Amino acid sequence: KAGVTQTPRYLIKTRGQQVTLSCSPISGHRSVSWYQQTPGQGLQFLFEYFSETQRNKGNFPGRFSGRQFSNSRSEMNVSTLELGDSALYLCASSPSAGNSYEQYFGPGTRLTVT
């Protein structure tokens, strides 16, 4: 099976702009989660989608949003970018909604905000 893919891999944006990141999960996986990784804050959970519904959300401002399509592909959007949004954004898929929550990660999108 192909792994989790994320596009684009690298992105440079200007403060105030918005950005959309895309994630394609492993075939058959219905859960997609998003994480932000920065040197200062480490890995932080953004949100999880399962069958097109947001199941859980982390502690991020409303500028961060996401959605999931019927084919399980997911997008996350960040509006009004701030310098502090510069980070590696990781997407992960999981085969079930159960409590094992084993995650399969994509390579990430490196976002730089200038």
Partner 1 sequence: SQQGEEDPQALSIQEGENATMNCSYKTSINNLQWYRQNSGRGLVHLILIRSNEREKHSGRLRVTLDTSKKSSSLLITASRAADTASYFCATVTMDTGRRALTFGSGTRLQVQP
Nearest alpha-carbon partner for 106 in 2, 1, 6? 6
Closer residue to partner 1 in complex, CB, 33/72: 33
Q: Is 43 in the site for partner 1 (CB under 8 A)?
A: yes
Give dist(CA 92, CA 4) in Å, integer.
7
Closer residue to partner 1 in complex, CB, 75/104: 104
Q: Is 48 in the site for partner 1 (CB under 8 A)?
A: yes
Give dist(CA 104, CA 23) in Å, integer.
12
Encoded amino acid at 17, one letter: Q
**What is the smallest separation between the CB atom of 9 and partner 1, expressed in angstroms?**
11
Q: Could you tell me whether strands 42-50 and 31-38 are parallel, antiparallel, or unpaired per DSSP bridges?
A: antiparallel
Q: Give the HSE-up count for residue 66: Cα atoms under 13 Å, Cβ half-sphere.
A: 31
Q: Is 53 in the site for partner 1 (CB under 8 A)?
A: no
**What is the smallest separation between the CB atom of 25 and partner 1, expressed in angstroms?**
13
Give dist(CA 78, CA 18) in Å, integer.
6
**What is the smallest separation between the CB atom of 59 and partner 1, expressed in angstroms?**
7
Stretch that binds partner 1, among 14-22, 64-72, 78-86, 95-103 (CB under 8 A): 95-103
Interface residues with partner 1 (CB under 8 A)? Answer: 4, 33, 35, 42-45, 48, 55-56, 59, 88, 90, 92, 97, 99-108, 110
